[in-house]
Chain A
Amino acid sequence: MRHFSKTITAAILLASMAFGFASCTASNASSGKVTVGITQEPGTFDPHTVVAAGDQEIIFNIYEGLMKYDSKGNLNPCLAKEYKINDSADEYTFTIRDKVKFHNGQDLTAADVVYSLQRAAGLLPGSDGTALIASFDKIKTVEVSNDDPNKVVVTLEQPDSELLSYFTVGIIPKDYENSDKSPCGTGPFKFESYSVSQNVTLSANKDYWGNKPQIDKVVFKICADMDAGLLELKSGTIDIFPHLTKDRADQLSPDAYNIMDNASNMVQIFALNNKAAPLDNPKVREAINYAISRDDIINVTMDGAGVALTTAMSPAMGKWYDKSLDGTYKKDLDKAKSLLAEAGYADGFDLKVTVPSSYLVHVNTAVELGSELSAIGIKLKIEQVDWATWLDEVYSKRNYESTVICLTSDYAPYDVLQRYSTDSKDNFINYSNAEVDELLKKIPLTPGEEDKLSLYHQILKIMTEDNASCYIQDPQEIVPVSTKLEGYNVYPMYVQDMSTVKFK
């Protein structure tokens, strides 16, 4: 009898093991789904009208351009097999890669490339002529080459040696009109569905021309905010959550998540409106730069996860950044006070800082700035506004004294600095220096990289001498990634590349 019951126990054990094994394999088969938490609602999926960084990081998986960035920030040919820029930098020639299919099954042809670039440059018949990608306004023609039906030639109105990075713009099928709602590209993932405020679902493109994706599905799950996302991370319903703050990432179990980080190539700026008194006085701006300790601010607001900045460009930009500017401002209260006195504000003054309330990091930075600046008599008054108000009043109308914000840009030095030309729409700090304007005009006309480098370094030097604003940090990009996954790369730009992600 006892023997019999032992047999039963063994049988049950075996059965449960088999069952456990079966359920294991079952979960593996369905585990081809990776959930990425995002906190912003997608605006559009159209690669030519898309602007929001949050949209761009999703569609990176759907569309590809003639060129494509890798995770180190290098620009490589993609849908173009190779490219050539002529010596006078006014003609770009791309050779189109063959055996590439769109998600709708169509083959990629030179005609699709011509259509896409013409659409982005506002050159399609019936368009009003304004370029959707602003930098493309100098494109004169986009044509299939006469010698080779596989080559596309782009000619420019005026030379521009800085245009290559913009050819990362997505290529769509000729005459395809549904890109904003139902995107169709050549990328490693196909668009499947978008449910407002809930999620965007992509599925693997089985016909992808390059290395095929190793997961079946990616769900970009929209979380109300970072804390809602954190709750989901803790309960394991999200596998990857980009743009998390360090204090939140520290709350996660190391068994469940690996914390990955990288320089984000963003520039957090304490923007000083150069036209608002008393900030119009360069000495006042210099005093502010000497009155604060960037490291303290980084410790308080980012738990140390940031790189101190002294100028408008992050060291993450590599050679384009001017290393001689490192450590220009060491906190020096006596110097700051005497500069203020020279400017006629020995007793300090009241300064309003308008910050977007939805960005906690910027609000906290403003609070910390307030306590640092009080040492030289500057009383910071913090005004929190919502994002729409900030965009309207601060960024567009420039109706503010100071603000804290992160400037994002493509991984291209020109994109970082062009906002500081006097007449730029994005020059919301109202910086104006004729010499900088001249240099900015000169760069696209300069072909050689060495010459360009010195021009960029000159601009950074002049802006630092002018104390154009107070630059604080390049906040680190922190991404918890489920320990079940591997192959995720943190890009120094707004990209969530899911093509290399796989289950261990």
Chain B
Amino acid sequence: MGRKTGFIISKILELLATLLVVSLLTFVAFSVIPGDTAQVILGPDASQAQLDALRSELGLDKPLIVQYLNWIAGLFTFNLGKSAAFGVPVSDLIAERLPVTIGMSIIALIFVIAVSYPLSVLSARRPGKVLDQVFSVTGHILFAIPPFVLSLISIIAASALFSGFRAGQYFSPDENFPGFIGCLILPSFCIALPKIAMTFKYMRSSIIEQNASEYVKNAKGHGLTDMRILMKHVLPNSNVSAITVISIVLSDILAGSLIVEQVFNLPGMGRLLLSGIARRDFPLLSGMVFYIAFITVLLYFAADVLGSIADPRIRLK
């Protein structure tokens, strides 16, 4: 019991330290790049009076370090601050974008698991044979193509193949939920493909390794069916490594969605992040970076905990 609490506390401390470092890095990066929010909002023709008025309205007349400390102080009251460029709370902006990014991540994850598991089992049955070779080579090729290139190719392909396909179309989930899911499928698929290849590769070698182990031979000797061995013994043992891979895949999916949604013109987190950078919107940017870091760290944290459930030895290490 004590060991378990200690494990969780040390993980939480890790989480906090990571978040602090991330926010510090954002702050340092932000303080060295040139540019000024008020100027970007108002453009080149703004008068000095207009610029000054907007700067004091947005609190930009204070030094950046003061803005940063205020922002940190806000965190303790769970307040991510107000976007300088848009004048609305950062958390509202993020909440508005979340459905797209989360939706894409979930659909992509479903693709990854639904495709990579059966394929790796099939492949691992007869390693080195034709089917395995075809899967592995295809996997390597897919693994090497960045999601945004896949996106461009798939938009062209989909436009040519399906007359009903509309590039850049988007429905908000409140208006048309099936439409919303529909416009996320292709981008999710583009994010998922390389990740399918990655998960496949890990799962395949893990299953092969298990298949070669003594206990499987032993089980075979006892006359258990292949199916039973696979479902009861091999897959559960492979899951330990799968959980680690999938937590990496999930954070990759998140990062991938930030880029892919640009190509598909979807109003998700990536687009918001870019407009935050383009407008030198410090509160928005640090709020978003913090949020994304938080989710990423949380995913790893969850993977650790899940892993420790799947394999009790992890806690002891």
What is A's interface to B at a CB cutoff of 8 Å?
A: 41, 43-44, 49, 51-53, 122, 130-132, 134, 180-181, 195-198, 223-224, 228, 231-232, 234-237, 358, 386-389, 391-393, 395-396, 408, 425-426
Q: Other CB < 8 Å A-B pairs besides A52-B41, A237-B168, A387-B278, 8 of them?
A: A41-B85, A132-B49, A134-B49, A197-B275, A224-B271, A231-B155, A234-B167, A391-B44
A235 near B35 with CB under 8 A, answer: no
A237 near B40 with CB under 8 A, answer: no
Given A122-B49, A408-B45, CB of A391 within 8 Å of CB of B39:
yes
Q: Which B residues lie within 8 Å of A235 (CB)? A: 166-169
> Taking the nearest CB of chain B, how far is it from the CB of A453, in angstroms?
25
Q: Which A residues lie within 8 Å of B35 (CB)? A: 386, 388-389, 391-392
B86 near A426 with CB under 8 A, answer: no
**Chain B residues numbered 158-195 whose CB sits less than 8 Å from any CB in chain A:** 166-169, 172
Q: Which are the 6 A-B pairs with shortest beta-carbon distances?
A: A388-B35, A130-B49, A235-B166, A134-B47, A228-B265, A231-B167
B34 near A52 with CB under 8 A, answer: no
Q: Which B residues lie within 8 Å of A198 (CB)? A: 172, 267
> Does B88 sit within 8 A of A, measured CB to CB?
yes
Q: How far is the CA of A131 from the CA of B40 in the complex (A)?
A: 20
| Chain B residue at smallest Cβ distance from A52 | B43
Q: How many A-B residue pairs have CB under 8 A?
A: 108
Question: What are 15 contact pairs spanning A and B, CB under 8 A?
Answer: A51-B43, A51-B50, A132-B47, A134-B50, A224-B271, A231-B167, A232-B168, A235-B169, A386-B277, A388-B34, A388-B278, A389-B34, A389-B35, A391-B35, A392-B34
B36 near A237 with CB under 8 A, answer: no
B271 near A52 with CB under 8 A, answer: no
> Does B6 sit within 8 A of A, measured CB to CB?
no
Q: How far is the CA of A224 from the CA of B88 in the complex (A)?
A: 20
Q: How far is the CA of A52 from the CA of B46 in the complex (A)?
A: 8
A interface footprint on B248-289 (CB within 8 Å = 1, 0 otherwise): 000000000000001001010001100101111000000000
A51 near B278 with CB under 8 A, answer: no
Q: Which A residues lie within 8 Å of B172 (CB)? A: 198
Q: How large is the interface on B (under 10, 10 to 19, 20 to 34, 35 or more residues)?
A: 35 or more
> Taking the nearest CB of chain A, how far is it from the CB of B54, in angstroms?
7
> Does B298 sit within 8 A of A, measured CB to CB?
no
Q: Which A residues lie within 8 Å of B267 (CB)? A: 197-198
| Chain A residue at smallest Cβ distance from B46 | A51
Given A132-B49, A198-B267, CB of A236 within 8 Å of CB of B44:
no
Task: Select which of B44, B47, B265, B280 is within 8 A of A232 by beta carbon.
Answer: B265
Q: Which A residues lie within 8 Å of B54 (CB)? A: 49
> Does B42 sit within 8 A of A, measured CB to CB?
yes
Task: Select which of A53, A391, A425 is within 8 A of B40 by beta carbon.
Answer: A391
> Does B93 sit within 8 A of A, measured CB to CB?
yes
Q: How far is the CA of A389 from the CA of B45 in the complex (A)?
A: 16
Given A51-B50, A391-B36, CB of A231 within 8 Å of CB of B44:
no
Q: Which B residues lie within 8 Å of A196 (CB)? A: 86, 88, 93, 96, 272
A392 near B166 with CB under 8 A, answer: no
Most buried by B among A41, A51, A131, A180: A51
A51 near B42 with CB under 8 A, answer: yes
B271 near A197 with CB under 8 A, answer: yes
Q: Which A residues lie within 8 Å of B52 (CB)? A: 130
B36 near A232 with CB under 8 A, answer: no
Q: How far is the CA of A396 from the CA of B46 in the complex (A)?
A: 11
> Taking the nearest CB of chain A, how far is it from the CB of B152, in angstroms?
10
> Taking the nearest CB of chain A, how far is it from the CB of B56, in angstroms?
10
A interface footprint on B70-101 (CB within 8 Å = 1, 0 otherwise): 00000000000000011110000100100000
Q: How far is the CA of A400 from the CA of B96 in the complex (A)?
A: 40
Q: Which B residues lie within 8 Å of A53 (CB)? A: 43
Q: Which A residues lie within 8 Å of B86 (CB)? A: 41, 196
> Does B13 sit within 8 A of A, measured CB to CB?
no
A237 near B34 with CB under 8 A, answer: no
> Does B302 sit within 8 A of A, measured CB to CB?
no
Most buried by B among A181, A197, A408, A425: A197
Q: Which B residues lie within 8 Å of A425 (CB)? A: 47-48
Q: How far is the CA of A426 from the CA of B40 in the complex (A)?
A: 15
Q: Which A residues lie within 8 Å of B93 (CB)? A: 196
B33 near A389 with CB under 8 A, answer: yes
B168 near A392 with CB under 8 A, answer: no
Q: How far is the CA of A235 from the CA of B36 in the complex (A)?
A: 37
Task: Select which of B42, B96, B168 is within 8 A of A195 by beta carbon.
Answer: B96
